[in-house]
Structure 1
Amino acid sequence: MKSKLPLLLLGLLSCATLPAAQPAPVTPSAPVIGWGDQGDGTYRNPILKADYSDPDVIRVGDDFYLVASEFHFIGIQVLHSRDLVNWRIIGQVFPRLPIDPKYDEMRAYAQGTWAPTLRFRNGTFYLYVCTPQDGLFMWHTRNPAGAWSEMVTVKAVANWEDPCPFWDEDGQAYLVHGRKGAGPLIIHKMNAEGTQLLDEGVEVYRGPVAEGPKVFRRHGWYYISLPEGGVEVGGQVLLRSRQLYGPYEKRQVLVDGSPHQGALVDLENGETWFVAFKSTGHLGRVTHLLPVRWGEDDWPVFGDAGRTVAQAKKPTLPGGPILRPQTDDEFSTPVLGPQWQWNHNPDPAAWSLVERPGWLRLRGLPAPELKLARNTLTQKLWGDAGTFEARLDVTHLAEGQKAGVAFMSGNVFGPIGVMRVGGRLVIEVEGAKGPELKQSTVWLRGTYVGDVGRLAYSLDGSTWTELGAPVTLKFGQWKGARVTLYCYGAGDGHADIGEVRYRYQ
């Protein structure tokens, strides 16, 4: 926020030399579509048309990193960019939540990780997040594209949300957070390592649905940036004070209904940008980018005089190819691509990428229905329309087991798959039996336009037969709709997935 001075985002966005993240191999420039990079020096909002809710972004040198709320989906994806517009997924923070049996037992829908904050200090990245019933947790790493530490329990506590650490200029560490139900905001002192709170905290602000605070210091002022008014219709406000503990004065910087709850990011050239979410129906909360201009009075102007922008000039940074997060997968490596997220904690013994190289093996586990089936693998729903196709080998399904693809809306599924019943393989859609499958390999597909999905199967990967009624895609359990791969049911059987093609616009 101060031109050409390394101040922003809690004093943590240091420009210290750090090995650049190593994203997935860069593909040729992607085609221009109706959102994101327009190929002419401008971008159209959203920059990420998928459910990256409550985004937090930091700059470290020439690199930008983004994290977001994932709730009951495992991992917290880490995205990387060089220009704040084009992003790739470079890793995940954790492979499972070792907090409570409910994350293994499929009983934590809408719980899990809410509104994480990412910070960089003295060569180390820190991620803080609360789960609504379990506590305040932290992970750290020297390389955000690599392995992160084991989970650190900073405090086991219920009903906290949206934590943000802050190291002041004298090195003293603090943490601000809200309470479930959106308010009030409370500040604690922390030890320098950021692993322990040192007091019971001081309330510094109450407001209408006040949540998602991000604290930083600029020109001798302490600022807290936060949304107010609620997920669907809220706006963004800024608090400031000469003292960290207040009293704070307040100014609304984005009108109600604007993108809100996100991160302010300073560039080396003096530009400031705001990355935030906007609720968008079945897709969830998609990511917008707004310019910010600081006035001589040390108050910022967001967007177009406090209103969002549909299209704008990109940040003044070196150009590069148009990139979007990866979706396709041929399962050609022994490591699962970071675009995939498990629904709740996976059972590591029930899936493999090495037992049959080039295939993802999912072993069926007992479950009465798909919403309770472990090892269901998901990706976010992208864009206004798309096609998700998977090739399955169902030779080794056990009697009664099911495998396939599905749309997922909250904890409601719209599946098409194969079931072994009476020794035969049968196509199944939405619980209704379809034709018998006379071969062991089948292609399954979900297509969507807007919030309407359709399901189909193919015997050769090119000629498709639709089955079942259209599936209505919805926002649910605080997350946008998704596409999934699944295999479940009692017995010592499995399904193999050979490739996934997922295209969107």
Structure 2
Amino acid sequence: MIRKSILGLLLCCAMSGMNAQNSISKTWVADLGNGSYKNPVLYADYSDPDVCRVGDDYYMTASSFNCVPGLPILHSKDLVNWTIIGYAIDKLTPDSIFSKVEHGGGVWAPAIRYHKGEFYIYYGDPDQGIFMTKTKDPAGAWEPLVMVKEGKGLIDSCPIFDDNGDVYLAHAYAGSRAGIKSLLAVTKLTPDGKKAVGESRIIYDGHDLDPTIEGPKFYKRNGYYYIFAPAGGVATGWQLAMRSKDVFGPYERKVVMDQGKTPINGPHQGAWVDTQTGEDWFIHFQDVGAVGRITHLQPMVWKNDWPVIGVDKDGDGCGEPVLTHKKPNVGKTYPIATPAESDEFSTNTLGLQWQWHGNPQSWWHFANKEQGCLSLYSVPVSDDYKSLWDVPNLLLQKIPAPDFTATVKLTLKPDLRFTGERTGLVVMGLDYALLSFENTADGFILSQSECTNAEKGTKESVNSSVNLKDATVYLRVKMTSGNKCIFSYSTDDKKYITLGNEFKAKEGKWIGAKIGTFCSRPIPKNDGGRVDVDWFRLEK
């Protein structure tokens, strides 16, 4: 029954997604169309990915931090072609905290598992503890979050449902909150997986050999308990495997993948998954700075009860990442698919590529299918406004490729009782830049602005401005190698005029830079104006 339910909902999601995008990405496609693929399989910030297989279907989730909805759910048939099918969290809890922008807080390094007809996701919130949610259908609604283990600095949690009915949870510690890091721990859970039993026990100390060990993933094979874990730092580390006959150790350790002579820095933290044909594969991330942590797929084999990930050219049991490889053998060939990017706003729901920067209010947007646009209503900003850094109603999506062009058509419909309402196109990160379209006493003004070190309270500054007569404008940003962004605008979608300075995109707090739009006003009156976004298109 669950298989039919899952497939039915996946079909609905796929059909809905086709309305929200041009079906196949115009910026990055990993499937080479000849039985091979190139890495990354997702050139987007799906940080700390974890995957499980159920029958012929693969499901992925990833860190979402403060972005809402959270815990993205992606689906694939072959580990190369992925689509977004939903989210496990509509809002982060508690709303009193996450209605504001908690940069770098929220969802850290989740794990997804399938057990007795249900999907489970566990994740650590570094300021609260470890949460769990579950469902019988990953494309549908997920149950309300349950606090499994309360504690500051508890992160990167992963369960194992043992053969005898026992349930355990591995986790790490965030040094910024717990005051200690480079340790892994295991705790027992109640049989329903909802509550920790007793205190956690340290099972590995990485301070000497594996500093900053974190992100454990728990498995069992041939009588061994395995913990796969990254160490050595996000951009510079390696992939570790540990094994023991006892869930609480002691654990042997072995480095099973590192960068070697490849350009893939810090290859680690991800998921071991097998195919229905008996192959083994490993999904992990690579930190590339401004774009974030992109997703790679590596072949994997077992030798002497140790995993070897990537290609082991010298036979020492430690593999290197591949750049291209034959696709996984899943018994069939499936069509190319990519996550949603471009959006024509032709449905009555918000596209799955979009996330807010904080918990949203229901009135922030109206997916106006009849008008074929997305209406964003202006949200008041604080009296001491300096920048977009603490504005929660930024509607953003992940950067999809190392080079791309994003264009948005929008019409500003301000409340004429006051001035200062604005919208625009933004590339958001620790530094950000935007085209800001504002209603002023002198009419509509388009400005190219930027903010350096936004996290430190720097005030947004204007580089260049131009007066425009019409309320409708086309805004564009082109990003090229080196994360260089050039902004331009048009009044007819034919001739585009460059405005302002070149900007170098920068990552956000634990996330990659993001692109999108917003609508704000300076006065908290009982009503305001809006922007109608006709479309948002991503191309090479």
Correspondent of 1:365 among 354, 379, 385? 379
Q: Structure 2: how far apart are the matches of 1:421 and 1:500?
A: 25
Deviating more after overlay: 256-265 vs 333-342: 256-265
Shift of 1:436: 1.8
Task: Supply the AA of the counterpart residue of 2:6.
Answer: P
The aligned counterpart of 1:12 is none
Correspondent of 1:413 among 432, 438, 457? 432
**SS where residue 76 of structure 1 aligns?**
strand
**SS where residue 24 of structure 1 aligns?**
helix
- The answer (yes or no) to whether the contact 2:28–2:43 under 8 Å persists in 1 is no
**SS where residue 130 of structure 2 aligns?**
strand
The aligned counterpart of 2:539 is 503
Percent identity of the aligned residues?
37
Q: Structure 2: how far apart are the matches of 1:483 and 1:31?
A: 16
- The answer (yes or no) to whether the contact 2:365–2:374 under 8 Å persists in 1 is yes
The aligned counterpart of 1:339 is 353
Residues 266-302 of structure 1, C-alpha deviations (whole Å, 9 max, x = no match):
112110000000111221111111001112x211221
Correspondent of 1:86 among 81, 97, 106? 81
The aligned counterpart of 1:164 is 158
Task: Supply the AA of the counterpart residue of 1:493.
Answer: G
Q: Structure 1: how far apart are the matches of 2:28 and 2:374?
A: 33
Task: Supply the AA of the counterpart residue of 1:250.
Answer: R
1:137 is aligned to 2:131: yes
1:166-245 correspondence to structure 2 within 5 Å: 166-181=160-175, 182-207=181-206, 208-245=211-248
- The answer (yes or no) to whether the contact 2:26–2:539 under 8 Å persists in 1 is no
The aligned counterpart of 1:251 is 254
Q: Structure 2: how far apart are the matches of 1:213 and 1:315?
A: 24
From the superposition, tell whether residues 30 and 362 of structure 1 become closer, same or farther in structure 2 (CA, over 3 Å): closer
Correspondent of 1:394 among 399, 408, 412? 412
Shift of 1:490: 2.8
Task: Supply the AA of the counterpart residue of 1:238.
Answer: A
The aligned counterpart of 1:404 is 424
Residues 390-434 of structure 1, C-alpha deviations (whole Å, 9 max, x = no match):
111112255111101110123x32110211111611112104362
Shift of 1:161: 0.8
Q: Structure 1: how far apart are the matches of 2:413 and 2:4?
A: 52
From the superposition, tell whether residues 422 and 33 of structure 1 become closer, same or farther in structure 2 (CA, over 3 Å): closer
**SS where residue 188 of structure 1 aligns?**
strand
Q: Structure 2: how far apart are the matches of 1:175 and 1:319?
A: 36
- The answer (yes or no) to whether the contact 2:39–2:322 under 8 Å persists in 1 is yes
Residues 198-223 of structure 1, C-alpha deviations (whole Å, 9 max, x = no match):
11121111112110101111011111
Residues 310-365 of structure 1, C-alpha deviations (whole Å, 9 max, x = no match):
11110012112222111111222221111111112112222222497422121222
- The answer (yes or no) to whether the contact 1:29–1:321 under 8 Å persists in 2 is no
- The answer (yes or no) to whether the contact 1:17–1:61 under 8 Å persists in 2 is no
1:325 is aligned to 2:339: yes
**SS where residue 200 of structure 1 aligns?**
strand
1:24-103 correspondence to structure 2 within 5 Å: 24-25=14-15, 30=24, 36-74=30-68, 75-99=70-94, 101-103=96-98
Q: Structure 2: how far apart are the matches of 1:427 and 1:200?
A: 57
* Equivalent residues, number: 487
From the superposition, tell whether residues 237 and 16 of structure 1 become closer, same or farther in structure 2 (CA, over 3 Å): farther
Q: Structure 1: how far apart are the matches of 2:534 and 2:442?
A: 23
Residues 171-224 of structure 1, C-alpha deviations (whole Å, 9 max, x = no match):
111111000034311111111221111111211111121101011110111111
Deviating more after overlay: 15-24 vs 369-378: 15-24
Q: Structure 2: how far apart are the matches of 1:365 and 1:29?
A: 32
TM-score by length of 2: 0.86
The aligned counterpart of 2:262 is none
- The answer (yes or no) to whether the contact 1:16–1:123 under 8 Å persists in 2 is no
Residues 62-112 of structure 1, C-alpha deviations (whole Å, 9 max, x = no match):
001111111111122111100000111111111211225332122x11111
Q: Structure 2: how far apart are the matches of 1:117 and 1:43?
A: 25
Which consecutive unaligned segments of at least 5 residues does structure 1 have?
1-14
Task: Supply the AA of the counterpart residue of 1:140.
Answer: K
- The answer (yes or no) to whether the contact 2:172–2:184 under 8 Å persists in 1 is yes
- The answer (yes or no) to whether the contact 1:366–1:373 under 8 Å persists in 2 is no
1:269 is aligned to 2:268: no
1:480 is aligned to 2:512: yes
The aligned counterpart of 2:456 is none
TM-score by length of 1: 0.92
Task: Supply the AA of the counterpart residue of 2:201.
Answer: V
Shift of 1:31: 7.9
Q: Structure 2: how far apart are the matches of 1:155 and 1:360?
A: 40
Q: Structure 1: how far apart are the matches of 2:337 and 2:424?
A: 29
The aligned counterpart of 2:316 is none
Shift of 1:169: 0.3
**SS where residue 201 of structure 1 aligns?**
strand
Q: Structure 2: how far apart are the matches of 1:496 and 1:41?
A: 43
Shift of 1:53: 1.1
Task: Supply the AA of the counterpart residue of 2:535.
Answer: E
1:304 is aligned to 2:308: no
The aligned counterpart of 2:445 is 426
- The answer (yes or no) to whether the contact 1:44–1:312 under 8 Å persists in 2 is yes
Q: Structure 1: how far apart are the matches of 2:302 and 2:156?
A: 26
- Structure that is richer in helix per residue: 2
1:289 is aligned to 2:297: yes
**SS where residue 399 of structure 1 aligns?**
coil
From the superposition, tell whether residues 494 and 29 of structure 1 become closer, same or farther in structure 2 (CA, over 3 Å): closer
From the superposition, tell whether residues 116 and 34 of structure 1 become closer, same or farther in structure 2 (CA, over 3 Å): closer
Deviating more after overlay: 366-375 vs 477-486: 366-375
- The answer (yes or no) to whether the contact 1:362–1:486 under 8 Å persists in 2 is yes
- The answer (yes or no) to whether the contact 1:99–1:134 under 8 Å persists in 2 is no
Q: Structure 1: how far apart are the matches of 2:196 and 2:137?
A: 25
Q: Structure 1: how far apart are the matches of 2:476 and 2:280?
A: 42
Which consecutive unaligned segments of at least 5 residues does structure 2 have?
176-180, 260-264, 313-318, 450-460
Deviating more after overlay: 384-393 vs 232-241: 384-393
